[in-house]
Structure 1
């Protein structure tokens, strides 16, 4: 049998010719090919033969290998497409959805140019956002979807298998002034057709991988949307200017007109009663500081909601056809004014009255009403009162209108009613102007203690040095207008000096006598912290409180004033010690201090500072550590007595160390002692 031999050069040449022929055919019919790039195609022939003498033989040829080339391809659809729905002037987030498909025969990515350059828009609209909708839910989610409009660098799609795709969504805002007959067109990419060789043009969308048989590919898609005139709502509100008295009523009048060229259609309140929850609605939020007034008669179909204003009035708030038992619980009222509301038509004027419930006339009563409907293509439209622009609403029927109301940012303007204003004042401890003392709001207090001149001074003795304490008092304007308050010191201990600071303690002004005062201007409802520095001379009895009375008086209403007490203590922890001898030795009397008798030491500790009232700033003893050292001069019980192990106790559960045989010292740690509270430490020593 003869052997076979294939020349290597001929073998290699046959492989190259096969690859070139295949890729040429692939480029002409890219969508018809399904064999993945990189696929190896092998072929060898076999034969049988005989030598004529009855001997049969078989043989095979060499194997010819053909590797399928990677061929790029890209298709964007639709081409010359039409948006599913027309758009109307003022419509926001009108979406144009493109499908970008890898029509190549291998996995590849798609490149979108930086800064939204791959997207072109023509017509009366602007691009709001553009992104690759990775999870296919139709909305942008940061961290999941890929921004291709504000991207600082080129954005790449995930790797797409052959015939795999991603959807690209371009969201647009149609100009409010857009008119019927105009068109908004969005183009993704700038190629002449799909499956074009990429040329690095300024607006292209192209594949990423290089080294393909045909280079990188680019494609193009475009969608247009017609603009139609549609329904336009304009809601108006009449509100009194005021001033009105607290607890009185405010009456409003409201109506809505359709200023557009198409009928305004019904919108549905998702959580309203069936049969009454569809129509064109005016929704009036109940103003802050008021309640819906009783005794009113509203048009048929009126609905009430007690849901928080933070909830959407259309999709989240719950509506009922009857008012709740407590009208104070009503948060919104919805008035059905038609279904549909015809072109050029206006609703009847509707009246609504609220009762002022706030006790603070600083802030006027604000009201704004919203109108809701659908336009002819089923899109929700809304308007808010206070301006002359139709369909300028934020759709929330609350009082969150932003910093630029009205025509500037697409919502309305709240209308206000001024309340009558009176002067009033509260003065109290830091952050607690409403504090009350043991008997009234004029004896609330702030307790603080000197740190000088009290160390080592036993009860009943006097301080060895003077000292100063700075108190913080909060003054609140509880009146209904800006006011100026006179701060005075009607009473202070003899020999004490009092100074007041309005700038956080940088500068102080002395209040020298009954006619001395400081003027403090405070805006409506505002507060101001006063720093009051009280200086006490030496020679004050320790463990005592010394009162300085601070008064603030309204200039608008001189009969309105409030006082607070800044109480300076000369120390506030009192300790009293006693000893009880118990003799069980049989020698001497029952209380004879003979060797073997036991001495129980009793230490009573107490917080002597005042308590009572509410909101007052009190002195609490924290981290109290009582030390009993038998060897500290003048103590000598450490060398003359022995510890009775286990005898130590603290009535407040303090942590005691040293209660063991042979100990000559004990410590008792108590976490805190409130004003007026006390505790007792006991331990026993046996006389040697």
Structure 2
């Protein structure tokens, strides 16, 4: 198991391991890592249900409350995180190697770690040598501040207390290659002592153990008592290091950038006082994500030109740089985390950041800054260790006084440093997750072009053409890639620009759509043909080809003030895209509060109708006065308002299942321009209320099969709705195709018509059906069920016999009403969605 995956897996396996070992108890279950020890978890159940005799009225019930208290769980992992060859190059006799490890608290309570002053080795190597930072000869060191400071382990061991959940301790092991080592000899180093590098296992006391030490009760954050899973230990072994080989040590650094805030300062008619805030973080990888066999190591500083007030000198610092994007200025002194210092440069952006002259003193006029950045304070931060992410960098930009809306702000951050020991330059740009500007997918990356001069997969120089200047010259079409989601998930070579468009918002705007979804998107991909579908009732026995006088159908729509200022919105019906889709004489009534207005469709336009009677045309007129439509006054910005629509289709309306469509009534909301009626107003939005007169279509087909189940010759053997002529012994196959002909969801948030609780009834003894009767009075029914032929992949079929066909039976065959099937009932499972077609089939033998 490789180092990259195992630490995540260890944590995921904790709870499973506890279960397997019986540590969980019913009363106080242990929840591993993530839920803090001592946390009380309450559980109260609620439910809704329906009385089947009175559906669609939910009833509610609530349970008693139960609680559990999370127990304290200890957890530890030890992970090898790379090595450094102090003199670089190949591993040779007398070389001193530094093997690095990270110990992590993966329990759920603060803990101490016992770390021995020893490690085991294989091959021609011993634990010896002197570590940097004041190391004691032949002793290990540890750090609890991500490698900023190191402490010698001077005795046989040390207990490092109070490591928080998720906290880490870094450990360095000095190794010297012994005399007599031969090329090809393999060196490994192991910290801890568990079989097969086991992680977070119950301690079995041995020499060299790395294990948890429970904090004393009363310590900050400590839950009283011992961990329920006892003392845990872990270990890890380094990769094989052959003598004579070159250790591919390199710092894999990733600079991450996100836009954390945008503020228009409550001014809606200008962008020149708007500000943008960005957060940066620096991550140094502890595992090789490139697939190049790199041993990740810390990131340390590179040479930069720095003016600290007493002249410009060359200093070794880690540099994070962010070019001020076009159309903006630095708005304020940046925020830096502990151990880091903001820096500024006025050097033109045509000079690369690592060649610019930087200063720690903010200029009196921040608008002169061309780049802003951060450097480490060497008094407190000498390097950034592997597996460490430094957060807390923040930069605020202000839109320049002369900027014109819309303004596209495109920028990218950079980090510069080098690798300890080899001094190989390290350079990364923000916008993606790949370290050090490597290109490609995790595990299969390649170094930046022109940086790997010896072809070993590790950069040893900056790119041939120098680094990018970090300034986006064409924000609309950036020369870099684009981090489109503002989350550092861009792809491509190099970095990806963070882009944000600032523009003067529209002060008056409206969205008009289905109830609670004014921003619904319709089939065209816009908000102007979103829809709500409903069906009128269709009386039982209404056969295809019939017309009817449908009952009125009520709708609720929602408008939203999507602008920035309060606005008043007017409502009118408008002609459908195809005028003939709506029957002449359709009456539409719009209601808001206690006000309502009625309109009649004359086949071309909607007319204002005073008495709400389409038949009396003398009181109908064009909608050209403000009194002829409802206006909802002073809707605050961002507010939703509901209004009602009632559609009354006229007598003689066709069945929707005959014409495969509904009857649309577009309703338009608009900001009136003062001239009565809807004319050239640009602030408008339309939604469609569509009535169906039935939407589940049943189409019956048949064909004739011979006694072996094969179609007979000619038209009778073809599945169709035409008359057939079977002979005794033939089989009639009936096929019922049922489909939902209503408009499907095309876009989002439209209200569609699913068909649920569909029950198809095939009754052979009720007129006009007679296929289960003895029509010729010869003593046997005319057709008999074919066992196993009644099928619907989406249904549960029930069988009935008798006349009336009310006796529940089985899938049987016979020649009498009681021994055969006289009714099939297909209970369709799930819903039939708009546009779906399903099939129910059964067969009867002609007796």
Q: TM-score range by the shorter chain?
A: 0.3 to 0.5
What TM-score, normalized to structure 1? 0.42
Higher radius of gyration, 1 or 2 = 1
What TM-score, normalized to structure 2? 0.34
